[in-house]
Structure 1
Amino acid sequence: MTRHPISPDLVGLEFPVSTETWSSKDTMLYALGVGARPAADLDFIYEGRGPKVLPTYAVIPGGTALGGMMRAVEMRLEMLLHGEQAIELFRPLPPDGTVEVTGRITEVWDKGKAAVLGVESLGRDADGDLFRTHATLFVRGAGGFGGERGPSAGDGDTLPDRAPDIVVRFDTRPEQGAIYRLSGDRNPIHIDPAFAKMGGFDAPFMHGLCTYGIVGRAVLRELCADDPAAFRAFQGRFADRVAYGDTIVTKIWRTSDGEAIIQGETGDGRIVLSQSKAKFAV
């Protein structure tokens, strides 16, 4: 495949359709990767109880489009950071599934010292549309190509002027990234100290999508009573890195029937998931 330089001309570029298949073993491994525990999350990690599938698992087959973009566009792996992630679920994900995934580049922004590229994917199975995902990649050192700057990081980042309705704390483990990467994101920046240093970081750090999945578990538990059928959509911007062993604090503000504003923080108060919203059935 020919790799294209980053430019606004990439908007609308479609990737070849891919067929993605998963089994209950994959969905249970993903649940463990985002911190599920037998005491509280048995339905998601034990085939004797289903298993149910965490809605945020959609980022795994949906991530095919991200892979397509990385193969189609000139970029250095060690300079990539995940910027934003959104998912929309049309039905609960099955524990064993096969989908056709289509993907396309939706936006390209020139931030000066960096470039931001967005990609959307749609997953369809034999019964029709199953999920839609949207993600952005922040490519450090790749700006200055003359494109539009696009929205700023703080746009729309307004929290209600009151205490959150719900606060959930989940601890992470030192081996969290080693487990999560087995679901498909093998970027060595999250496990290899030497590679992390090549990217300018002191040490490996947790996948943004692992943080996303942990906050998504809190949303599912508190707003959907752990029922994936009630989970409609979830989006957020990755605002800071999470170190292995950090506590992730999810703050939830109910704003209307079926909608909530979410913020993810570390135990010491650093915001790691911002501009986050969830939609759910009531």
Structure 2
Amino acid sequence: MNADEVIAYRFEDIEQTYSERDVILYALATGYATQPLDPRHLRYLYEKSLITAPTFANVLGFPGLWMKDPRVEIDWVKMLHAEHRMTLHRPLPPAASTVSTNRVTGLRDLGPRGAMVQYQTDIALAEEGEPLATLITSVIARADGGCGDWGEAPPPLEQVPERSPDATLELATSEIQPLLYRLSGDLHPIHIDPAVASAAGLHRPLLHGLATKGMAGYALLRQFCDLDAARLVSMAVRFTRPVMPGDVLRFEFWGEAPGKIQFRAVAVNEGDAPVLDRCEAVVT
């Protein structure tokens, strides 16, 4: 890694326009269609009085695979999406034009395990300039340790309590889920092409990590917020294991609303293997 080039990396502003159709496709891919006759769920699926899922913010402002830029000298093939944090500044409109800025905010040298690179995405309404959301993405560059530390790192995510959870919710992923979710913008072939998945050592294409985070957002709204999008203030997750289409996920929660909720998600059909861990959210 060329740490100086990473620190000084300059991103172009990202202008996007999304529609009600985009918002509905996202909701279909992240769990909101589990109860299609429930009026509360239909608010996320039907253009009549449409509400945008809060985690839709995660598909805005993505700067692409900027670590492939040869100037930063990162072995991008060995990158892993480690953590993802989201803070919402207001409910997302059902359709809007946005402008997003990205900047590298921190490096943490992990020695033989590589380096953690953090970058921040600030999303705002294009015309008004009103902030919508702030995202912090943490990526492990597994082959790039020895870069030294720089900048600010977000506070470490806390381990979930060892006691039994206060609440649980099981959600099944579907075979077609990655085919739907990719229409929100992440077109990496590992999520659709069996040959690409096989070359990566997988027995089949896997679900997008941010689709799993979207399901976690849905689970939080359903469990603690009566499916009211405006009550989710922030959430952060750590990715610990890929999710395969068809996996049944159990979301385990500690805490009560309003306030801070800690949670994780485990794959029930894989011996309760954690797929999200050290997660937290603030709900009102």
Do they superpose with TM above 0.5?
A: yes
Name the counterpart of 1:211.
212
Name the counterpart of 1:275.
278
Query: Which of 24, 37, 40 does residue 39 from structure 1 map onto?
Result: 37
Q: How many Å apart are 1:138 and its aligned residue?
A: 2.9
The one-letter amino acid paired with 1:57 is F
> In structure 2, do the counterparts of structure 1 residues 122 and 163 end up closer, same or farther at CA, with 3 Å as the change threshold?
same
Q: Is the 8 A contact 1:82 1:137 kept in 2?
A: yes
Q: What is the CA–CA distance in structure 2 between the aligned matches of 1:114 and 1:39, rounded to whole Å? A: 48
Q: How many Å apart are 1:157 and its aligned residue?
A: 3.8
Q: What is the CA–CA distance in structure 1 between the aligned matches of 2:116 and 2:205, rounded to whole Å? A: 22
Name the counterpart of 1:65.
63
Q: How many Å apart are 1:130 and its aligned residue?
A: 0.9
> How do 1:112-261 and structure 2 match up within 5 A?
112=112, 114-125=114-125, 126=128, 128-140=130-142, 142-148=143-149, 156-254=157-255, 257-261=258-262
Q: What is the CA–CA distance in structure 2 between the aligned matches of 1:186 and 1:263, rounded to whole Å? A: 26
Name the counterpart of 1:28.
24
Q: What is the CA–CA distance in structure 2 between the aligned matches of 1:178 and 1:29, rounded to whole Å? A: 11
For residue 56 of structure 1, give the secondary structure of its aligned residue in structure 2. Answer: helix
Q: Is the 8 A contact 2:241 2:276 kept in 1?
A: yes
Q: What is the CA–CA distance in structure 1 between the aligned matches of 2:183 and 2:114, rounded to whole Å? A: 29
Q: How many Å apart are 1:176 and its aligned residue?
A: 1.0
The one-letter amino acid paired with 1:130 is L
Q: Is the 8 A contact 2:30 2:211 kept in 1?
A: yes
Greater shift in the superposed pair: 5-14 or 248-257: 5-14
Count of residues in Structure 1 that have an aligned counterpart in Structure 2: 271
Structure 2 gap segments, 5+ residues each: none
The one-letter amino acid paired with 1:25 is R
> In structure 2, do the counterparts of structure 1 residues 156 and 129 end up closer, same or farther at CA, with 3 Å as the change threshold?
closer
Query: Which of 10, 16, 19 does residue 12 from structure 2 map onto?
Result: 16
Q: What is the CA–CA distance in structure 1 between the aligned matches of 2:4 and 2:115, rounded to whole Å? A: 10
Q: Is the 8 A contact 1:30 1:180 kept in 2?
A: yes
Q: Is the 8 A contact 1:35 1:176 kept in 2?
A: no
Q: How many Å apart are 1:197 and its aligned residue?
A: 3.0
Q: Is the 8 A contact 1:78 1:198 kept in 2?
A: no
Q: How many Å apart are 1:33 and its aligned residue?
A: 1.2
Instruction: After superposition, give the CA deviation of every residue in 1:92-119 in whole Å (9 maximum; x if it has no partner).
Output: 0001011110101122344435443221
For residue 10 of structure 1, give the secondary structure of its aligned residue in structure 2. Answer: helix
Structure 1 gap segments, 5+ residues each: none
